[in-house]
Amino acid sequence: MSFIKNAQKILQENIREYGMFIALFVIMAFFTWRTEGLFISSRNISNLLNQTGYIAVLAVGMTLVIVIRCIDLSVGFLAGFLGAVAAIALVFWGLPVYVVIPLVLALGIVAGLLTAFLVAQMGIPSFVASLAGWLIYRGAIQLVTAGTGTIIIPDEAFNAIGNGFIPDIFPAEAGPLPGVHKLTLILGLLGIIVFIVNEINGRRKKQAYNFEVLPMDMFILKLVFVSALVGGIIWVLAGYQGLSWTAVVVLIVVLVYDFITSQTVLGRHIYAIGGNPEAAELSGISVKRLTYVVFGSMGMLSALSGILFASRLQSATTTAGTLFELDAIAAAFVGGVSAAGGVGKIMGSLIGALVMLSLTSGMNLMGIDISLQYLVRGAVLAAAVIFDVATRRRGK
C-alpha cells in the first residue's frame, strides 16, 4: 500500500519529467488496443521509427535553437533542397556516397551559418531571417528539380540509410532463436545494461553529496519501467529485420547531443544564454559565437534530415521537406522545450517526435480521416504545452 502511495507521490512531484514517457506509453497502448495489435507489430514499429527519423534529427537541432530563444523556420525546405542536391550529386555528377554525404552535411552547415550571420551579426530576429530562408530554399528546390521533376536515386548504399537494416552476426535462422535478429537483441541488452549501471552510479554520487534521490523502491520501479519499455521495443524490432540504419543514425545523434547539452562546457553556455543572455555575455560567453554554433548544427541536422528523407523515398521530389519545420517545432514543444528559452532536453524532444508520429501512424492504421488527424495532433500539441506550463507554474 505504501509502495503505491509512494509511487503516486513521486509521480506527482516529477510529473514533468516522466509525463512524456507515460503519454507515449498510453498512446501506444491505446492504438495497439484499437488496431487489435497491428500498431505494435514489428513491421509497423520499424516503419514508425524510420518515419520519425528525419523529424527527430530536426527536433534535436531545433531544441537548441529554441533554447537560445530563437526559431528556425527554414529547416524543412533546406532539408528538401539538400536532399535534392544529394540526388543530383549522386545521379548527375556521379559522385560516390562517401563523398556526397559529407558534402551535403557541409553545405547544411554553411546554410546554417548564413542564417546565424543574419541573426547574430545583422541583428535580424531569427523568425524573420529563417522565414527568408524558408522562401529561398523553397524556390531553390523547385529550381534544381525544374528540368527533371522527381529524381530517382538508384544508389543502393544511399538508399539503405532510409530503408536498410543492420546486418546480423549469425544467419537469421541459425542459433537458439530462429527468426530473431540477434545483433539487435545484443545491442539492446547492452544499452539497457549501460543505462542501469549509469543510473546506479549517478544515484551513488548524489547520495555521497546528500542530494535528494528517489527512494530505493521507486528507483527500482523506474529502472524496471524504462528497461521494459526499451526491451519491449527492441524485442519487437528484433522479431522483424532488426535495427534499421535510420534508427542507428538517430540514436547516435541523440546520444551525442544529449552528452553535449548535459555534460560539456559548450552545453552549459548554450543553456546560460537561453536563461539570461545579458548575464551570459557578462560571464564571458560570446552570444554571437554560440549563435553560429547552434544554427550551424541546425543546418547540419537539416542536411541529415534531407539525406534520410531522400534515401527513404529513394528519390528527391519537388515538395520534399514541406512542413517538416513545423513538425520539428511541435515535437520540441511537446517534449517540454520552453518557448521562453533556457529549458529543454534532447531526450524530451525525441520523445516528442515519437509521440507526434505515433499519433499519425496509429490514426492512419485506424483509417481516420486526414482532416481529423490534424485536429487531434493540434489538440495534443496544445494539451502538451498546457500541461508543461501548468506543472512548471506549480513547481515554483
Partner 1 sequence: MNSPILEMKNITKEFPGVKALNNVSFRVAEDEIHCLVGENGAGKSTLMKVLSGVYPHGSYTGDIVFGGDVQRFRGISDSEKAGIAIIYQELALVPEMTVYENIFLGHEIRNGLMVDWNETIKRAGEVLKKVRLNVTPSVKVKDLGVGKQQLVEIAKALSRDVKLLILDEPTSALNVDDSENLLSLLRELKNHGVTCVLISHKLKEVIEIADSVTVLRDGQTICTLDAHKGEVSEHALIKHMVGREIDNIYPKRERKQIGDPVLEVRSWNAYNPALGRTILKDINFNIRKGEIVGFAGLMGSGRTELALSLFGNPDGYRLDGEMIVEGRKKHFKHPQDAIKAGVAYVTEDRKGDGLILIQDVKQNITLANLSKISSRGVVNSNAEVQVANEYKATLNIKTPSIEQKVANLSGGNQQKVSVAKWLFVQPDILILDEPTRGIDVGAKYEIYTIMTRLVEQGMSIIMISSELPEVLGMSDRVYVVSSGKITGELPIKEATQEKIMQLATD
Could you list the residues that contact partner 1 (CB under 8 A)? Answer: 205, 209, 211-212, 263-266, 268-269, 271-272, 275-276, 278-286, 342-343, 396
308 contacts 81 by C-beta, under 8 angstroms: no
300 contacts 307 by C-beta, under 8 angstroms: no
Residues 324 and 332: their CA atoms lie apart, in Å, by 12
The grid coordinates of residue 250 equal 538517430
> At closest approach, how far in Å is the CB of 182 from partner 1?
34
> At closest approach, how far in Å is the CB of 33 from partner 1?
37
CB of 261 or CB of 318, closer to partner 1: 261
CB of 94 or CB of 284, closer to partner 1: 284
> At closest approach, how far in Å is the CB of 328 from partner 1?
23
Residues 24 and 52: their CA atoms lie apart, in Å, by 14
> At closest approach, how far in Å is the CB of 210 from partner 1?
8
> At closest approach, how far in Å is the CB of 206 from partner 1?
9
CB of 367 or CB of 393, closer to partner 1: 393
> At closest approach, how far in Å is the CB of 284 from partner 1?
4
CB of 283 or CB of 319, closer to partner 1: 283
> At closest approach, how far in Å is the CB of 335 from partner 1?
17
Which of 246, 243, 244, 256 minimizes the C-alpha distance to 308?
A: 246
> At closest approach, how far in Å is the CB of 276 from partner 1?
5
CB of 346 or CB of 359, closer to partner 1: 346
> What are 132-138's contacts with CB under 8 Å, separation 24+?
132/74, 133/72, 133/73, 133/74, 133/77, 133/78, 134/73, 134/74, 134/76, 134/77, 134/325, 136/74, 137/74, 137/77, 137/78, 137/80, 137/81, 137/111, 137/321, 138/77
Q: Is the dihedral of CA 120, 104, 245, 259 positive or negative?
A: negative
CB of 124 or CB of 229, closer to partner 1: 124
CB-CB neighbours of 66 under 10 Å? 28
> Which residues share a beta bridge with 315?
152
Residues 64 and 216: their CA atoms lie apart, in Å, by 34
60 contacts 350 by C-beta, under 8 angstroms: yes
Dihedral of the alpha carbons of 210, 215, 220, 221, in degrees to the nearest 10 = -140
CB of 155 or CB of 281, closer to partner 1: 281
Amino acid at 252: I
Which of 273, 351, 394 minimizes the C-alpha distance to 25?
A: 351
CB of 123 or CB of 367, closer to partner 1: 123
CB of 166 or CB of 260, closer to partner 1: 260
> At closest approach, how far in Å is the CB of 117 from partner 1?
18
